[in-house]
């Protein structure tokens, strides 16, 4: 068992401006943190949500809301209002290899009221969820809060200290939740390390105009030593250019001209607009990680979402599994929070319910990464074909089910 790093005593920490008390302090205003805050606030539980940035607007993050998340929104009575925000819908997945038969999957056969992937800027989703939470007087969001230390008493974590707004501040809480993503500061402070497989890929994200006459949906393209996923964003394509792990410096060294040539070789229809990529500032680099921590909790603390299990971008499931973590945490911990006492066994139940589906979906991602992506990226000619399994008629129903609805259904019980 790793012991949490002891926080600096209050007396030794300069400029503590105030100390606040709450039931639950959530570090990280991403999907997991925001949804958990809303679920707890609805129960009358006092919640403080800390976000290191001064706003929620970060580009090139997970923008896909899957049917499983829409079902959760429906249970909260929020689905129709969420869908009233600008968005696009993806009902089909198409993968076009350089040779052989393409792969086609359709989400419209799923047993759900929402048989599609909702594509919406994550900032709009987060602002919507936080606005719902702000209707409750027991909720508070603090932006620009840079958590640096844990408050500990013996082996129990009692809260956090953060810098921002003119100095140091302290939040004391019955429960502290680390929902601060794949580079989690909270995870670092308790000495946990995410271990797992290293996906054989990295990603460049960028956008190019989409013509109205072009097919809608999600399209995958396989070229010579590169792959692309093209996400329909209405008037734009949001494009993931996938290349072998640790190849970013080689791509930068080759220059934008070579990158544009590779893009056109993979998706020839983009030849009339690829010249719009004129500067590297238009392109975001994502170093892909995937794994899990051994133990998601300590006395008084819980990790959820990418803080507990960094996800590969394959299939875009990360945001949705993080939200499922939040729902399960709220289901299991609302009553202990109301009673004022959380046992280590309560926290262990969250990991016990969420670890198996996380392992299954990460196993699925690993198969895709190693059996399809890695082999496609290693191909230097046009002979690559999709695995024979993907050409079986029944197989096209599996990815939509696993991607759209998750391994096990998660319902709001609190």
pLDDT digits 0-9 by tens, 237-270: 999 999 999 999 999 999 999 999 999 999 999 9
**DSSP characters for 256-308?**
HHHHHHHHHHH-GGGGGTGGG--SGGG-EEE-----B-S--EETTEEE-GGGT
At 12 the pLDDT is: 53
Decide if 238 contacts 231 (C-beta within 8 A): yes
pLDDT digits 0-9 by tens, 50-77: 999 998 876 656 689 999 999 999 999 9
Decide if 101 contacts 95 (C-beta within 8 A): no
pLDDT digits 0-9 by tens, 271-319: 999 999 999 999 999 888 899 999 999 999 999 999 999 999 888 899 9
- Predicted TM-score (pTM) of this structure: 0.92
Helix, strand, or coil (residue 108): helix
Q: How far apart are CA 145 and CA 163, in angstroms?
A: 6
* Residue 6 scores a pLDDT above 50: no
Q: How far apart are CA 216 and CA 97, in angstroms?
A: 18
Which of 111, 44, 55, 114 is closest to 79 using CA atoms? 114
pLDDT digits 0-9 by tens, 316-347: 899 999 999 999 999 999 999 999 999 999 99
Q: How far apart are CA 45 and CA 206, in angstroms?
A: 40
Q: What mean pLDDT comes out for the span 121-133?
A: 96
Q: Tokens for 143, please give them.
A: 């932006």
């Amino acid at each position: 068992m790793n012991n949490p790093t002891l926080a600096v005593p209050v007396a030794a920490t300069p400029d503590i401006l105030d100390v606040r008390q709450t039931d639950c302090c959530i570090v990280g205003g991403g999907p997991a943190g925001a949804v958990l805050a809303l679920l707890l606030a609805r129960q009358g539980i006092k919640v403080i949500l800390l976000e290191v940035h001064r706003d929620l607007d970060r580009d090139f993050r997970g923008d896909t809301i899957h049917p499983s998340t829409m079902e959760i929104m429906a249970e909260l009575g929020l689905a129709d209002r969420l869908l009233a925000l600008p968005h696009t819908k993806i009902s089909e997945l198409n993968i076009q290899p350089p040779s052989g038969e393409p792969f086609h999957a359709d989400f419209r056969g799923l047993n759900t009221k929402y048989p599609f992937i909702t594509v919406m800027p994550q900032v709009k989703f987060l602002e919507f969820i936080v606005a719902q939470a702000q209707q409750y007087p027991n909720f508070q969001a603090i932006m620009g809060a840079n958590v640096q230390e844990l408050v500990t008493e013996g082996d129990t974590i009692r809260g956090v200290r953060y810098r921002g707004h003119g100095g140091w501040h302290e939040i004391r809480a019955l429960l502290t939740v680390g929902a601060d993503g794949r580079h989690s500061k909270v995870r670092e402070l308790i000495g946990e390390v995410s271990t797992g497989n290293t996906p054989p890929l990295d990603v460049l994200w960028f956008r190019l105009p989409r013509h109205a006459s072009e097919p809608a949906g999600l399209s995958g393209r396989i070229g010579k030593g590169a792959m692309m996923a093209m996400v329909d964003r209405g008037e734009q394509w949001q494009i993931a250019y996938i290349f072998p792990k640790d190849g970013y410096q080689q791509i930068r060294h080759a220059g934008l001209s070579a990158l544009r040539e590779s893009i056109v070789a993979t998706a020839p229809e983009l030849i009339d607009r690829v010249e719009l990529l004129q500067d590297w500032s238009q392109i975001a680099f994502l170093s892909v990680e995937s794994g899990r921590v051994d133990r998601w909790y300590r006395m008084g603390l819980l990790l959820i979402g990418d803080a507990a299990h960094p996800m590969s971008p394959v299939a875009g499931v990360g945001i949705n599994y993080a939200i499922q973590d939040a729902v399960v945490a709220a289901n299991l911990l609302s009553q202990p929070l109301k009673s004022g006492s959380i046992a280590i066994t309560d926290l262990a139940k969250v990991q016990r319910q969420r670890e198996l589906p996380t392992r299954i979906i990460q196993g699925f991602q690993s198969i895709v990464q190693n059996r399809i992506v890695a082999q496609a990226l290693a191909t230097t000619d046009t002979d690559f074909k999709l695995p024979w399994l993907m050409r079986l008629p029944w197989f096209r129903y599996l990815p939509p089910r696993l991607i759209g609805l998750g391994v096990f259904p998660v319902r709001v019980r609190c």
